[in-house]
């Protein structure tokens, strides 16, 4: 995968990862 697009929303499916960090700032594939 070369790219990910984070669309609008609360990131509820990514909880508990998004409880303190916005989903746009989550590390993906070992990269911030």
The 10 Å CB-count burial string (b at 16+, else e) for 1-32 is eeeeeeeeeebeeeeeebeeeebeeeeeeeee
What's the token pair of residue 29?
Answer: 């594939």
Q: Where are the beta strands (DSSP E) in 1-32?
A: none
Sign of CA dihedral 21, 8, 24, 11: positive
Q: Would you say the pTM of this structure is higher than 0.75?
A: no
Average pLDDT, 10 consecutive residues per value, the chain (32 residues): 77 86 83 72
Give the bridge partners for 28, in sequence order: 31
pLDDT at 13: 85
pLDDT at 6: 74
């Amino acid at each position: 995968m070369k790219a990910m697009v984070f669309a609008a929303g609360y990131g509820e499916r990514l909880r508990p990862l998004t409880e303190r960090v916005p989903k746009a700032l989550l590390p993906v594939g070992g990269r911030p």
